[in-house]
Amino acid sequence: MSQPQDDTSERVGDRVPRRFWVGVVALIIYILFAAVLGNIAGSFAPEGDVTAEFALSHLIPLPIAIGLALWFVWWAGWWRDVWRNTSTLRMRPRRLWLIAIPVLLVALPLVQLPGIPWAERGLGTVMIVLVGTIMVGFGEELVIRGIVFTALRERHGELVTLLATSLLFGAAHTVGSVWAGVPPAAIAFQVAFLSMTGSLYYWVRRVTGRLWVGMAIHALTDFTLYLASGEANAVEALSSSDDLGPMTPVLVTIQTLLIVLAIAGVISAAREDHRARKARRIAADPQA
C-alpha cells in the first residue's frame, strides 16, 4: 500500500497499533453513545418540545462519548498525530487551490445565518443548540478525521484514507435515519451527500494541518442547519429543506463549487499517492 507523503511513520511507544480496525471500533463505540443513547435519551422529551429533545439527545450522551474518545487518544499514544499533520501548503506541489475548500465551507453557513428566524428560536434554544453543535463538531471530527484518519494513514495512502473516512462519516449518520424510519432511498442519498461533505472535511484537515479547524467549521455548519430548520436531530434537519431558506445564487454557486472541489480532491489524492509511489521507487533504485 502507498504511504502518505508527510510525517506519519511507524511509531515507537504506542500502546495501541494504528490499524484500520482500531479506528472502526472507536467509531462504533462513539456511535453507540452519540447516536443510539442520544436517540433513546431524546425520546424522553415531552411531545413536540424540540428544544428539550435536542438537549436530551445531545447534552447527555455527547460528553460521555467525547470523554471516552479523548481518553483513548491519550492512552493509545496517538495524541499528537490525531491533532495535527503536515499541511499540504508545506508539501510539493503545494496545491494552493485546496485552500478554497475551507474558505467555501466557512462561507456556506455564514451566508445562511441572516436568514435564520432568530426571534422565533429564543435565546435559551440558541444557547442549547450552540453548545450541542460544538460538541457534535468536536466529537465527530475527533473520531473520524482524528482517530480513524490516524489509524488509516499509518499503512494506507491518501486516496484510501479520504474514501474510507468519508464513507464512514456518511454511514455513521444512518443510525438516526433508521431510528426515524426514513425510507432506504432517502438514507442512500444522505449517505452519498454526507460522504461528499466528509471528503471536504478531510481536505480541511490536510490543508490546515490542524484538526480543530474542521471541528470549528463542522460546528458552525450544524449550528446554522439546526437553527434554520428548527428540528431536533440531523435527520429531520436534512429533510427539512423548505425551512433552510431560499436557494440564492450565492448559495447555489458555493455548493456547486464545493461539489467540483470534492471531485477534484479525490483526483488530487490519487495523484499524491502516485507521486509517493514514484518517489519510493526512485529512492529504492536511483538508476531506475
Q: Which residue has the higher pLDDT, 281 or 207?
A: 207
pLDDT at residue 233 is higher than 60: yes
Which amino acid type is present at position 121?
R
Closest listed residue to residue 151, CA positions, set 19, 5, 8, 242 = 19
Prediction pTM value: 0.91
- The pLDDT assigned to 179 comes to 74
Residue carrying the nine cell digits 462504533? 28
For 156-200, the pLDDT digits (tens) are 999 999 999 999 999 998 887 887 788 889 889 999 999 999 999
Decide if 18 contacts 80 (C-beta within 8 A): no
pLDDT of residue 288: 58
Residue whose entry in the numeric block shows the C-alpha cell 453507540: 32
Q: Which residues contact residue 277 at a Cβ distance below 8 angstroms, ignoring those fewer than 6 apart?
A: 2
pLDDT the model gives residue 245: 59
Helix locations, the chain, DSSP H: 20-31, 38-42, 50-59, 61-76, 79-83, 100-112, 118-121, 123-142, 149-153, 158-172, 174-180, 184-208, 211-229, 234-239, 249-284
